[in-house]
């Protein structure tokens, strides 16, 4: 087979396999780094940054999903390419492969330089030392491993035996981080329960604001939650997202403007266990200072007593 025939026969296959291997490698590396960063955010929280449950769960679930699908595909495509290299040495020397490898080396070099810039910039910004060191270290380690592996690979005429060890070690590390992620976001069933509880807290906070608004407009507490329904504005009091039952509301002291909201929760919040954890806090809907209120709860029925401060929330006709 002439050189021209070899190029015509091998080029389409080479382009697909090499690009596929590189893309899955890039995506796997980014997903692994994302997962590492979420670990840092979870175990080393920054008091200046608000992270709700979904702030952790969303990126972690996407990173885990990507790793579970893409990393095995990267290993499989790399294994298939090495089998081809063993039989057809000219494929290993193809320009397509070398261009992609040198492109990878170029990208990882830029990432390493950018990582060092990030470290210095974050340090000057005053972020917690452990946080930015761990984040920068995760990027640096991943890029250095990729850079070192492909730099060694591009210099060889035959596939290195280190490829098996590289796949085994990296696969083990990824498996450990993926399993560890379930201890943060929980199982799919547990995550569903947490989301129901999160929605209940958001609903109660929304109802709380509507009660305050009702007082400001009518100078009295609503007799029931049905009084909050407004056909003109389109507001309808939310119900429990799982059972479709109404939330409980009662007036404790009409003179002191004290009322109580109750809901039935699936799980105990981290706050009620004495652990400072923002996952059990609802996202502020109207008043940013409401995030400081106590929304800790146990599993089962939990009630939250609130008293309207007339000075903070005076009637609108007196403003």
Q: Are residues 152 and 196 in the same domain?
A: no
Strand partners, 217: none
Q: Are residues 105 and 243 in the same domain?
A: no
- Same structural domain, 21 and 105: yes
Residues 50 and 125 in one domain: yes
| Integer Cα distance of 247 and 264 in angstroms | 8
Question: How far is the C-alpha of 197 from the C-alpha of 244, rounded, in Å?
Answer: 13
pTM over 0.85: no
> How many domains does the structure of the chain reveal?
2
Residue where a domain terminates, one of 186, 208, 243? 186
Please give the Cα distance from 304 to 132 (Å, whole number).
38
Same domain, yes or no: 211 and 174: no
pLDDT at 278: 42
The pLDDT-based confidence of 284 (bands split at 50, 70, 90) is: very low
Same domain, residue pair 70 and 159: yes
Q: Provide the pLDDT confidence category of residue 206 given band limits of 50, 70 and 90.
A: very high
Task: Kindly state whether residues 166 and 277 are assigned to the same domain.
Answer: no
Of 162, 186, 210, the position where a domain reaches its end is 186
Beta bridge partners of 258: 253, 307
Per-residue pLDDT tens for 107-157?
888 877 877 777 677 777 766 577 778 888 888 888 888 888 888 777 776
What pLDDT does 199 receive? 92
pLDDT at 61: 87
Of residues 167 and 157, more confidence is placed in: 167
- How far apart CA 208 and CA 192 sit, in angstroms, is 24
The domain containing residue 289 runs over which residues?
190-318
Q: What is the pLDDT of residue 298?
A: 87
Domain identity same for 35 and 159: yes
Quick one: pLDDT at residue 48? 57
CA distance 22 to 110: 17
Predicted confidence (pLDDT) at residue 285 exceeds the cutoff of 60: no
Helices (H), 186-318: 188-218
Residues 10 and 31 in one domain: yes
Is 29 exposed, middle or buried (CB count within 10 Å of its CB: 0-12, 13-18, 19+)? buried
Which of 125, 154, 186 is at the close of a domain?
Answer: 186
From its phi and psi, is residue 300 left (phi > 0), alpha (psi between -120 and 50) or beta? left
- Given a contact cutoff of 8 angstroms between Cβ atoms, the answer to whether 285 and 205 are in contact is yes
Query: Cα–Cα distance between 23 and 20 in angstroms, integer?
Result: 5
Q: What does the pLDDT look like over 17-70, one tens digit per residue? A: 878 888 898 889 889 988 998 888 888 776 655 555 556 677 888 899 999 999
Judgement on whether residues 62 and 162 belong to the same structural domain of the protein: yes
Do 200 and 170 lie in a common domain?
no
Average pLDDT over residues 279-296: 48
Q: Give the model's confidence band at 273: pLDDT under 50 very low, under 70 low, under 90 confident, else very high.
A: very low
Do residues 60 and 124 share a domain? Answer: yes
């Amino acid at each position: 087979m002439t050189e021209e025939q070899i190029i015509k026969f091998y080029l389409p296959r080479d382009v697909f396999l090499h690009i596929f291997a590189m893309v899955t490698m890039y995506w796997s590396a980014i997903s692994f780094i994302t997962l590492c960063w979420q670990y840092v955010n979870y175990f080393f929280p920054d008091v200046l940054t608000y992270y709700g449950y979904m702030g952790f769960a969303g990126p972690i679930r996407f990173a885990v999903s990507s790793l579970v699908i893409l990393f095995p595909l990267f290993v499989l495509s790399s294994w298939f390419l090495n089998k081809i290299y063993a039989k057809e040495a000219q494929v290993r020397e193809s320009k397509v492969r070398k261009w992609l490898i040198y492109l990878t080396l170029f990208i990882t070099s830029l990432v390493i330089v950018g990582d060092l810039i990030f470290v210095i910039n974050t340090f000057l910004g005053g972020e917690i030392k452990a946080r930015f060191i761990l984040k920068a270290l995760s990027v640096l380690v991943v890029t250095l491993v990729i850079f070192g592996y492909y730099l060694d690979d591009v210099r060889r005429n035959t596939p290195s035996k280190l490829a098996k060890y590289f796949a085994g070690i990296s696969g083990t590390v990824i498996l450990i981080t993926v399993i560890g992620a379930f201890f943060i976001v929980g199982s799919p069933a547990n995550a569903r329960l947490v989301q129901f509880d999160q929605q209940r807290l958001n609903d109660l906070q929304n109802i709380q604001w509507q009660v305050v608004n009702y007082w400001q407009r009518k100078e009295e507490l609503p007799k029931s939650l049905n009084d909050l329904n407004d056909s003109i504005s389109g507001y309808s009091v939310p119900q429990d997202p799982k059972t479709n039952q109404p939330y409980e509301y009662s007036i404790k002291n009409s003179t002191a403007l004290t009322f109580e909201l109750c809901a039935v929760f699936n799980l105990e919040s981290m706050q009620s266990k004495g652990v400072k954890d923002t996952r059990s806090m609802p996202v502020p809907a109207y008043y940013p200072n409401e995030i400081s209120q106590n929304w800790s709860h146990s599993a089962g029925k939990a009630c939250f007593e609130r008293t309207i401060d007339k000075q903070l929330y005076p009637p609108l006709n007196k403003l």
